[in-house]
Structure 1
Amino acid sequence: MDLQKFIKERPFLYHLTSERNAINIIKERTIYSANALIDMTGDQSLERIKRSRRIIHQEIRIGDNLFSLRDQKPISEKALGKCLTDNWSVGDFLYHLNDRVFMWPTLDRLWRHFNRYEQENPIIFRFSTHELLDANPHVKFCRLNSGATRANSYLGGKPPERGSNSFMPALLFEFAVREVAEVTFENKCVIDGPFWKSSRPDEIFVQVS
């Protein structure tokens, strides 16, 4: 995929999070993956979370700060087990997901995610694609909603396959810009430059800094 074409056609990336996490993101100008946050606690008892499906949001404490790890309810472990490649286990793929920061490349995809969590009054951040990718060259792209395992009638009732090749750098992503479903960053995503926040996709985004 032509990265410059992606930047031109998708000028903004969106991240949805809890109000508590938003405070820490603004303060540190960094978004950390679930695995990175767990490592920062220094609590070995939380290691199991990296390879387990979260059926509810889970709070963890790092120093004086509380962080919320979002639930993974859209994942059916039974369905996931039927569509994995590379001889991966369900735990392997869950670890792979928890190792990433996720962004949505379109308002349409943001709306789908927002509708599920609207009652929780989440915060939405909007970033300049160009500036975010400049600051985070380890970006990888995915052509499906990796955290959902809906059955596909064209695949005999199974979800689309997923595994080590689900997230690819632009040079290896052999699909059109319109087929990018998720933009992801391993471990963390550094915020360099101004960004904006809103409480809804259809409301005005206000500049944070």
Structure 2
Amino acid sequence: MDIQKFIISRPYLYHLTSSQNADNISSTKSLFSANTLIDMTNDESLQGVKRARRAEHQTIVIGENTFFLRDQRPISEKALAKCLTNNWSVGDFLFHLNDRVFMWPTLDRLWKHFTRYEQERPIIFRFSTSDIIEANPHVKFCRLNSGATRPSSYLGGIAPLRGAESFVVADQFDRQVRDVAEVTFENECKIAGPIWSSARPDGDFHQMN
């Protein structure tokens, strides 16, 4: 995939998070993966969280700051076990997910995620795709919603396959721009350029900085 074509076709990236995370994101100008936040606590008792499905939201305290990790309830561990490649275990793939920051490349994909958490009144951040990718050359792309494990009748009753090869750099993404489902960053995504926020995908986005 041509990265410049992607930037032109998808001028914005969207990130949904708990409204309680807004101040930390604005002040640090970074989005951190769950695994990175856990490492930042220096709390060895939390290491097991990296390879476990979060059934509920989880609070992470780092110094005077509190971060809220979203639950992973939509993931069925039973279904996930049936669609993994590379001889990975469920724990292997959950670690892989928890090692990433996720963004949505379109409002349509954002909507599907937003409706799951709408009652919690999350906050949506919008970023310039060109600014974010320039500041984060380690960006990788995924062709599917990596946390969706609903079985497909077209695939013989299992969810689409996923594993180490699910997240790839642009040059290895052998599909079209329209096929990018997730834009991801290992460990950390540095926020460059303006930050806009909204309470809803169809709401007004206001610049925060």
Q: Deviations over 1:34-90 (max 9, x none)?
A: 000000000000000000000100111000111111100111000100010001000
Q: Deviations over 1:154-206 (max 9, x none)?
A: 10110000000000000000000000000000000001111100111111100
- Structure 2 partner of 1:120: 120
- Structure 1 partner of 2:162: 162
Query: What CA distance in whole angstroms lies between the structure 1 residues aligned with 2:151 and 2:89?
Result: 19
Q: Deviations over 1:105-164 (max 9, x none)?
A: 000000010001001010000000000000000000000000110111110110000000
Alignment of 1:7-46 (within 5 A): 7-46=7-46
Give, as a single letter, the amino acid of the residue that structure 1 aligns with 2:55: I
Query: What CA distance in whole angstroms lies between the structure 2 residues aligned with 1:189 and 1:119?
Result: 27
Aligned length: 209
1:83 aligns to 2:83 (yes or no): yes
Pairwise CA distance, 1:17: 0.3
- Structure 2 partner of 1:176: 176
- Structure 1 partner of 2:104: 104
Runs (4+) of structure 1 exceeding 4 A deviation are none
Pairwise CA distance, 1:21: 1.1
Q: Gapped runs of 5+ residues in structure 2? A: none
- Structure 2 partner of 1:139: 139
Q: Gapped runs of 5+ residues in structure 1? A: none
Q: Indicate the percent of aligned positions where both proteins have the same amino acid.
A: 68
Query: What CA distance in whole angstroms lies between the structure 2 residues aligned with 1:169 and 1:35?
Result: 21
**Partner SS for 1:109:** helix
Query: What CA distance in whole angstroms lies between the structure 2 residues aligned with 1:6 and 1:33?
Result: 23
Alignment of 1:197-208 (within 5 A): 197-208=197-208
**Partner SS for 1:165:** helix
Pairwise CA distance, 1:23: 1.2
Give, as a single letter, the amino acid of the residue that structure 1 aligns with 2:165: N
Query: What CA distance in whole angstroms lies between the structure 2 residues aligned with 1:124 and 1:206?
Result: 11
- Structure 1 partner of 2:195: 195
**Partner SS for 2:21:** helix
